[in-house]
Chains A and B, each alone.
Chain A
Amino acid sequence: MKWKFRPFKNVKVVLAVGFGLLIILMAISAISIVIIASEVQNDTALIQDNYAQSVRIIGHVQTDVVYLRLLVRDVIFFEDAKQRETLRSQIDSVMNEIADQFDKTRRIVVQPEEKQSYQAYIAAFDQFADAIHKVVDTVEAGKHEEAVSLYQTTMLQSRQRLDEISNRLVIANLHASAVTRDHIDSLETEFLQIGVGIVALSIIISVLIYYYVSRTFWIYVENIKSAEEQKENLLHLLQERQKKIEQLVVNMSSIEEDQRKRFAQELHDAIGHGLTVAKFHVDSAKAELDRNPAQARDHLEKSLSTIQESLTETKRISYDMRPMLLDDLGLVAAVKQLITDFERRTGIKVQKDFAILSGRLKSIAEITIYRIVQEAFSNIEKHSNAKKVLFQMLVRDEGVLVLSITDDGKGFDVGDVVMGKNSRLGLRNILERGELIGGTVLIESRPGQGCEINIEMPIQTMKENE
């Protein structure tokens, strides 16, 4: 069994990649937060510094404008030249102050539209300043009436324009801050979206990692469990096999003991008894030889026939113990002879089909197969009341020797007779001998339906090593 499961390696990779992704995501989110935060900060600064400052500048300028108007009005009403001189220098210093303020706007304001607005504002102020200068110059020239009319028309008009523009500018500034606030809002939304996305992605990755890792370990644990189970099964099988072998050894030795017993009995009955009888007749013949030669001859004849009987019995017993045909001519000839003898002895017809076995099998395989066939036929003879037997020996292309022995006898319950409490040693023997040479034995029978014994044996393991 090949099993290439390397959970730890895979899990390591998944963990590394997964956590790597998580770290990258966190870094991205941190950077985004920093960027967004700094953007927000900049925008806030813009509002606070920029716009507030420009509004302040405008406020300042507008205040100065009011102050300028009052100064110009004083210039018109004061007749004393010295006092006017002071007023004029005051006007100039206020103007310079305003110019300074405008300089500041140049530094603050960057947006082009704003710049334009400021330029318009500055231009309007310049007109106002021109108007002031004109009024002051006219007063200086002694044209009082003209100065008053200039003050009331051109100067106040330009001042009104300046106010209008300054109002517009303030409104524009307010608008710009509103836009900035919108921008901040949109940044917030963006921030939220990115945040939610990152959190969602992190959760998904975490779940995937969890799923993969837990699944991997689950499979791993399952595999360990099944391997454990397999081990247990194997162990169980091994134990069963061990038990079987032990049983086999017990059976074999009991068979051997039975055979010895039978052999001793037969030796005693056939040979011992025969020789005793023969000896009796020879003794009698010896005693009668001179007195009654006819009687003596009769005794000798009897001893001869007894010896012949014993001889025949001896041959039978010897062949039964070790069929010489098996050694001399091999399995097929020995089995053929076995079947011929069976037919002659029982009168049961056997239909035969023999394979051509090229080469000899190992001696142990040949005798085992022979004994199996012998056992099968012996069972048929003793128990089956069969009229016909079908015997087949086949060799399949894949190197399997096949034996099949079928009778039409009275049959039996396989479970009961082979394995159960009514088990017949003969059938069990067939099973065990078949297993001994690596074969598979299939016994099929039902009461009244005959019996078939089918055996498959791998030839390769039974071949003589060349």
Chain B
Amino acid sequence: MISVVIADDHHVVREGIALVLQQEGDIKVVGQASNGEEAVTMIMQLNPDITILDISMPKLNGIQTAQKLIRDGFKGKILMLTQYDKEEYVREAIQTGASGYLLKDSIKDDVITAIRKIISGETFFSPSISKLLVDEYFQQLKRKTSSKSIPDLTPRETEVLQLIAEGYSTKQIADKLYLSARTVDFHRANISQKLGIHDIAGLTKYAIRHGLVKI
């Protein structure tokens, strides 16, 4: 028998899930919570095999609830439930330690599969989420191949740094780049922050060392 606790602030959603799970002989909904705090108390008490957490909940949201559960020593599985197919939710959920991520759209079709997969030690993501994850993975692969000459600095910042190193004043740089002096100061402050160098001599040295300026 697989014990399940469902936490969602929408009564209709909780009942809907319970209705679907009821039809399975070996799955039993042992508790329902309507907010994060209630869920934590209930889950720590009932210690279910799997808990289904809605991400957008009052008091503690799903992510915070999961974090608290894991901190408190909950050993069961966590399935995140959400309205939105947004990568940021998925990333955060995975980092928190959730084993699956289910979209509310596909509860009826997927919730049983998700529970069974997770209980057997696998992970589960709704199909549209899987597609997002694969996309992002490829994006990252592609990004790794392109490299910049000076890490961290944008082309504009590189340009400004080069002119600083060549001895131009803020006003002169502004004129050269068709920018306002305040924008040049903005970039200069960013450069100093990024490189941790706050004086012109140091910036010039840095520019020379990285081949931005020829001596």
Contact = CB atoms under 8 A, between A and B. Distances in A.
Interface stretch (A165-173, A238-246, A334-342): A334-342
Interface stretch (B42-50, B111-119, B178-186): B178-186
Nearest to B92: A329
A256 B89 CA distance: 28
Contact of A456 (B55, B178, B186): B186
B158 to A, nearest CB: 12
Contact of A406 (B55, B62, B84, B154): B154
Contacts of B193: 394, 396-397, 402
Contact of B179 (A312, A337, A344, A444): A444
Interface residues of B, number: 31
Contacts of A404: 154, 186, 190
B178 A446 contact: yes
Contact of A333 (B56, B62, B92, B156): B92
Interface centre among B135, B155, B179, B186 (most CB of A within 10 A): B186
A442 B186 contact: yes
Given A328-B89, A394-B193, A311 B63 contact: no
A71 interface: no
A420 B187 CA distance: 26
Nearest to B87: A340
Given A324-B83, A337-B86, A449 B186 contact: no
B56 A324 contact: yes
A192 to B, nearest CB: 66
Contacts of B180: 442, 444
B88 A396 contact: no
Interface in B144-194: 152, 154-156, 178-180, 182-183, 186-187, 189-190, 193-194
A327 interface: yes
Contacts of A315: 83-84
B87 A337 contact: yes
Contacts of A319: 84
Nearest to A406: B156
A340 B183 CA distance: 27
Interface of A: 308, 311-312, 315, 319, 324-325, 327-329, 333-334, 336-337, 340-341, 344, 353, 390, 392, 394, 396-397, 400, 402, 404, 406, 440, 442, 444, 446, 449, 452, 454, 456
Interface of B: 55-56, 61-63, 83-84, 86-89, 91-92, 105, 135-136, 152, 154-156, 178-180, 182-183, 186-187, 189-190, 193-194
Instruction: Sort A-B residue pairs by CB-CB distance and give the 7 closest, nearest first.
Output: A333-B88, A337-B88, A396-B193, A337-B86, A442-B183, A328-B61, A454-B186
